[in-house]
Amino acid sequence: MGTEIRTFTSLKDITEFLANQTNQYKALFEDYSQWLGTVLRDAESKHKSEEWFQKSAALQKTLKSQAKKPPENSKSKNGGKGGKGKEAESAWIETGDISISFTEQGQTEILFEAIEKIKAKIQEYEKFKGTVQQLTRLGLGQTVNYIVYLEEDVPKKIVLKQKANAKGDEVFKFMTELSVPAYFSIPST
C-alpha cells in the first residue's frame, strides 16, 4: 500500500493490526523461501559449479538458520549481497528504469531481495509491537486515539490524540423525543 495514516481507537486494535500484518509477512517469507529452495534445487544440476549458484545456496542456508532464531543479524547477509553486486550486472539488462533478466541467477536474486525486505518489515513490526506494549503499561486506555503513520507498510510514527469527548465515552447518554399518538375528545355536556 505504501504510505498511509491510520487511526485506531484502542491499543487492542493496534495490536490486532500488527499481529495480522506480521502473520501475513511471515507467511510471505515462508512462501518465498520455499520458492527459492525449489529454484535452487532445480538449478543445482545445471549450475552447481558456477560461483553465483554456490553463493545463492550458502545464502539460502543462512536464511533457514535465521528463520529459526530471532531475526537480528542481517549484516552478514548484506555483506554477502555486496559481493554479488558485480555478478548481478552480468545477469541483468538495463532498459530505462527496469532491469530485465532471462536467467535463473536473476530469479534467485529477486527472491533473495524480496526475502530480505520482508524480513526487515517483520523486524520493524516486532519493534513497533514493543512500543505498543510500553503504551499499554502506561494505561492510556480508551481516552486516546492513536494515529499511526505507515511508510512502505511499516509503522514509523504514532500520535496520541485526546478524544474530543473523553467523558462522554465513560457515560452512556441517550437523548430522544418521544411522540405518542393520543386521542383527545371533548366531553359532551
Burial pattern 153-183, b for ≥16 Cβ within 10 A else e, equals ebbeeeeeeeeeeeeeeeeeeeeeeeeeeee
The confidence score (pLDDT) of residue 85 equals 46
Mean pLDDT of 99-128: 91
Condensed to tens digits (0 to 9), the pLDDT of residues 18-76 reads: 999 999 999 999 999 999 888 888 877 776 666 665 666 666 666 555 554 444 434 33
Predicted confidence at residue 15, as pLDDT, reads 92
Whether the CB-CB separation of 145 and 9 falls below 8 Å is answered with yes
- Three cell numbers, residue 67: 528463520
d(CA 111, CA 29): 10
Backbone angles phi, psi at 88, to 5 degrees: -65, -35
Q: Residue 115 pairs with which residues in a beta bridge?
A: none
Lowest-pLDDT choice from 131-135, 139-143, 169-173, 184-188: 169-173
3-state SS assignment for residue 187: coil
